[in-house]
């Protein structure tokens, strides 16, 4: 009886120190929900309309079939995400007992009380959006591992959660940072905090933007997503035309892309879903373009995915490489198969995204060739300065007569200091 009692207490202690563990029954429920969504998706699938129908009825049936196909595709993707989440949560592991005791003792010396600790799969990390403004460091807090800690303190005024970062480095021998989605402060009431290992690289970003003529609103929009999975995603959309209508279309594209990426969709799947939804909206949003560039800050490479976007560039010292534009803009055809392009990056490499208004400004100087020659001559400057200098050259090339909205995004890769 004494032995059974000890086993019971050890199991209760293990569970208390395992704050992120998801019971098997919940994983089973998620898988069950996933199968239900798949069954629902299958119910939306419709056969192609018969050719014997009159022309108007045929096109109405075909449009209905396409819309149902969009819904079915979304439901299938949701089912995949549910199953993926169940698999990821099953991979959460408790921290080793010896390490747990050492960590708890060290945290107690900083006024932090450790109630639970576990290792969390990298895929469970969140994602946050950054407003582009001048130049900023997108320091991705991710790489090989993540730690989930349940912490509290006896101090009335609380303690900043970042106090635990130095302790984790001393105990585990690796540099960890508080995740973007975790609370900033530890209070008397127990809270859950995620700490992620720093990646191999960081990315500095900069931008420049000019509006067409006397327009007060730009039809170009951009977004930079910072992910705790170790990625930096740059999104750039050029709306149809200029002004408020163009801005509405490009804003809609970026808002939906951000939501899908934050939910867990892959970039190419998110792009396909945005395109399918744009088809159903017709001319309401026009046909915006979309440039997507995702940098892996652990491996130091990047992936491009384009829908009608202009040519992009990779600059390495005096060498400049073009990344070709891709396919048609969004919302023209139902089926879109994004073409992915991969590049291996080195420290100091810069990625430059731009809307076609910039290339059009260099029309008389050779479009891409003009941009390439200017980038070759830009040495030892940061991403903000590079974007601003290139924009100044574009304005000068048009003699100040800006005929289209122009936006430039630049990201430069550096070793994590």
Q: What is the pLDDT of residue 326?
A: 66
Query: How many Cβ atoms sit within 10 Å of the Cβ of residue 152?
Result: 17
* Burial label, 140 (beta-carbon count in 10 A; 0-12, 13-18, 19+): buried
Which of 126-130, 220-224, 331-335 has the lowest average pLDDT?
126-130
Which of 76, 65, 67 lies closest to 42 in space, CA to CA?
A: 76
Which of 236, 227, 186, 184 lies closest to 387 in space, CA to CA?
A: 236
Share of the chain above pLDDT 90, in %: 45
Residue ranges of E strands in 89-179: 93-94, 113-120, 127-130, 135-138, 146-152, 159-160, 176-178
Question: Are the beta carbons of 185 and 158 closer than 8 angstroms?
Answer: yes
pLDDT band at 134 (very low <50, low <70, confident <90, very high): very low
Question: Are the beta carbons of 113 and 107 closer than 8 angstroms?
Answer: yes
Cα(288)–Cα(276) distance, rounded to whole angstroms? Answer: 13
Backbone angles phi, psi at 219, to 5 degrees: -80, -10
Cα(63)–Cα(49) distance, rounded to whole angstroms? Answer: 10
Category of 2 on φ-ψ map: left (φ > 0), alpha (ψ -120 to 50) or beta: alpha
Each residue's pLDDT tens digit, 188-216? 999 989 898 888 899 999 999 999 988 88
Q: What is the pLDDT of residue 263?
A: 76
Residue pointed to by tokens 């931008």: 207
DSSP 8-state class, residue 308: B
* pTM assigned to the model: 0.76
Q: What is the pLDDT of residue 144?
A: 55
Residue pointed to by tokens 């698999």: 87
Question: Per-residue pLDDT for 269 more than 70?
Answer: yes
Which of 172, 301, 304 lies closest to 230 in space, CA to CA?
A: 301
Question: Are the beta carbons of 260 and 274 closer than 8 angstroms?
Answer: yes
Each residue's pLDDT tens digit, 65-120? 877 887 787 788 788 878 777 776 666 778 888 999 999 999 999 999 999 888 87
Question: Are the beta carbons of 400 and 210 closer than 8 angstroms?
Answer: no
Cα(317)–Cα(333) distance, rounded to whole angstroms? Answer: 39
For the chain, the distance separating the N- and C-terminal CA atoms, rounded to the nearest angstrom, is: 56
Each residue's pLDDT tens digit, 279-322? 878 778 889 999 999 999 988 999 999 998 899 999 999 999 99
Higher-scoring residue by pLDDT: 231, 127: 231
Residue 181: how many CA atoms within 13 Å on its side-chain side? 17
Share of the chain above pLDDT 70, in %: 86
Category of 213 on φ-ψ map: left (φ > 0), alpha (ψ -120 to 50) or beta: left
Angle of helix 163-172 relative to helix 97-108, nearest 10 degrees, comes to 140
Pairing status of strand 146-152 against strand 176-178: unpaired
Residue pointed to by tokens 């803009």: 329
Q: What is the pLDDT of residue 230?
A: 80
Dihedral of CA atoms 68, 74, 75, 81 in degrees, nearest 10, equals 170
Residue pointed to by tokens 């050259």: 393
Each residue's pLDDT tens digit, 11-42? 444 444 555 444 455 667 777 778 887 888 88
Q: What b/e sequence results for 99-128 when a residue is b if at least 16 CB atoms lie within 10 Å of its CB, and e otherwise?
A: ebebbbebbeeeebebbbbbebbbebbbbe
Question: Per-residue pLDDT for 1 more than 70?
Answer: no
């Amino acid at each position: 009886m004494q032995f059974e009692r000890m086993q019971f207490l050890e199991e209760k202690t293990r569970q208390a120190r395992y704050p992120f563990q998801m019971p098997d029954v919940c994983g089973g429920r998620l898988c069950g929900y996933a199968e239900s969504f798949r069954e629902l998706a299958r119910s939306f699938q419709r056969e192609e309309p018969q050719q014997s129908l009159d022309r108007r009825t045929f096109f109405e049936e075909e449009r209905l079939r396409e819309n149902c196909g969009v819904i079915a595709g979304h439901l299938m993707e949701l089912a995949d995400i549910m199953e993926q989440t169940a698999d990821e949560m099953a991979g959460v592991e408790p921290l080793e007992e010896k390490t747990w005791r050492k960590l708890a003792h060290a945290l107690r010396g900083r006024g932090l009380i450790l109630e639970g600790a576990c290792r969390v799969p990298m895929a469970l990390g969140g994602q946050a959006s950054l407003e582009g403004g001048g130049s900023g460091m997108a320091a991705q807090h991710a790489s090989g591992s993540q730690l989930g800690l349940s912490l509290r303190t006896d101090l009335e005024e609380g303690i900043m959660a970042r106090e635990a970062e130095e302790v984790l480095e001393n105990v585990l021998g690796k540099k960890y940072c508080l995740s973007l989605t975790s609370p900033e402060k530890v209070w008397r009431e127990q809270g859950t905090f995620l700490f992620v290992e720093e990646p191999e690289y960081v990315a500095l970003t900069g931008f420049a933007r000019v509006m067409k003529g006397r327009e007060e609103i730009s039809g170009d929009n951009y977004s930079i997503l910072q992910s705790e999975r170790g990625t930096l995603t740059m999104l750039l959309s050029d709306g149809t035309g200029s002004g408020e209508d163009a801005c509405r279309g490009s804003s809609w594209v970026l808002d939906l892309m951000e939501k899908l990426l934050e939910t867990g969709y892959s970039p190419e799947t998110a792009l396909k879903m945005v395109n399918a939804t744009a088809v159903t909206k017709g001319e309401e949003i026009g046909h915006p373009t979309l440039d997507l560039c995702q940098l892996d800050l652990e491996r130091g490479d990047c992936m491009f995915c384009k829908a009608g976007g202009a040519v992009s560039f990779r600059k390495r010292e005096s060498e400049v490489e073009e990344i070709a534009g891709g396919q048609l803009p969004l919302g023209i055809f139902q089926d879109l198969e994004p073409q992915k392009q991969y590049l291996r990056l080195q420290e100091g490499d810069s990625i430059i995204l731009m809307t076609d208004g910039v290339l059009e400004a260099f029309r008389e100087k050779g479009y891409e060739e003009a941009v390439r020659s200017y980038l070759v001559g830009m040495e030892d400057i940061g991403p903000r300065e590079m974007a601003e200098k290139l924009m100044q050259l574009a304005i000068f090339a048009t003699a100040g007569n800006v005929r289209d909205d122009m936006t430039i995004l630049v990201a430069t890769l550096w070793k994590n200091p």
